[in-house]
Amino acid sequence: MGFAMNVLEGLALLFAFTIGVLILTGLILFILDRVQTEDAIRRNYPVIGRFRHLFATLGEFFRQYFFAMDREELPFNRAQREWVKRAGEGHGNTVAFGSTRNLNIVGTPIFANAAFPPLDDQFASSEPLVIGEQARQPFTATSFFNISGMSYGAISKPAVQALSRGAKEAGVWLNTGEGGLSPFHLEGGCDVIFQIGTAKYGVRDEHGGLSDDKLRKAAAHQSVRMFEVKLAQGAKPGKGGILPGEKVTPEIAEIRGIAAGSDSLSPNRHLGVDDWGDLLDLVEHIREVTGKPVGIKTVVGTEDGLQGLFDQIGTRGPQSAPDFITIDGGEGGTGAAPMPLIDLVGMSIREALPLVADMRDAAGLKPRIRIIASGKLVNPGDIAWALAAGADFVTSARGFMFALGCIQALKCNKNTCPTGITTHDPRFQKGLVVEDKYKRVARYAKSIVKEVETIAHSVGVAEPRLLRRQHVRIMQGDGRSRPMSQLYPPQGSVAAE
DSSP 410: S
Compute the distance between CA of residue 291 and CA of residue 216 in angstroms, rounded to an integer: 9
Expressed in angstroms, the distance from the first to the final Cα of the chain is: 98
Alpha-carbon distance values, 445 to 70, 220, 286, 442, 489 (Å): 23, 28, 30, 5, 31
Q: What is the dihedral of CA 120, 123, 125, 127, to 10 degrees?
A: 160
Is the distance from CB of 85 to CB of 402 less than 8 angstroms?
A: yes
Return the H-helix or E-strand segment holding 372: strand 370-374
Say how many C-beta atoms besides its own lie within 10 A of residue 389's C-beta. Answer: 26
The predicted model scores a pTM of 0.86
Check whether the bond before 340 is cis (ω within 30° of 0). Answer: no
Do residues 330 and 237 make contact, with C-beta atoms less than 8 angstroms apart?
yes
State residue 335's pLDDT score. 62
For the chain, the 3-state helix, strand and coil shares in percent, each to the nearest 5, are: 45, 10, 45
What are φ and ψ of residue 39, in 5° steps? -120, 110
pLDDT given for residue 496 in this prediction: 38
Residue 423 CA to residue 412 CA, distance in Å, equals: 8
Q: Which residues have a Cβ under 8 Å from the Cβ of 232 and sit 6 or more positions away?
A: 238, 269, 297, 298, 299, 328, 346
Residue type, 101: R
CA–CA gap between residue 92 and residue 102 (Å, rounded): 23
pLDDT at site 369: 97
> Crossing angle for the helix pair 349-362 and 303-316, nearest 10 degrees?
20
Per-residue confidence (pLDDT) for residue 265, from 0 to 100: 79
Enter the DSSP assignment of 376.
S
In terms of DSSP H, where are the helices of 171-237? 183-186, 212-219
Contact of 181 with 201, CB cutoff 8 Å: no
Nearest-angstrom CA–CA distance, 34 and 97: 57
Angle at 437 between CA 436 and CA 442, to 5 degrees: 110
What is the DSSP secondary-structure string of 455-471?
Answer: HHHHHT-SSGGG--GGG
Q: How far apart (Å, rounded) are the C-alpha atoms in residues 280 and 364?
A: 18
Q: What is the DSSP letter of 140?
A: E
- Cα 154 to Cα 177: distance, rounded to the nearest angstrom: 9
The class that CATH gives domain 120-496 is alpha beta
148-169 per-residue burial string, b: 16 or more CB within 10 A, e: under 16:
bbbbbbbbbbbbbbbbbbbbbb
pLDDT score, position 493: 40
Helix ranges (H only) for 291-425 are: 303-316, 339-344, 349-362, 380-389, 398-404
pLDDT, averaged in runs of 10, over the chain (497 residues)? 69 85 88 84 82 69 61 69 81 72 86 89 84 96 96 91 96 94 95 95 89 96 97 74 80 85 82 93 97 96 88 96 93 69 78 95 95 92 96 94 84 80 86 92 95 94 94 93 90 44
DSSP 320: G
Identity of residue 273 = V
Buried (b) or exposed (e) across 3-28, using 16+ Cβ within 10 A?
eeeeeeeeeeeeeeeeeeeeeeeeee
Name the E strands within 251-323.
264-265, 294-298
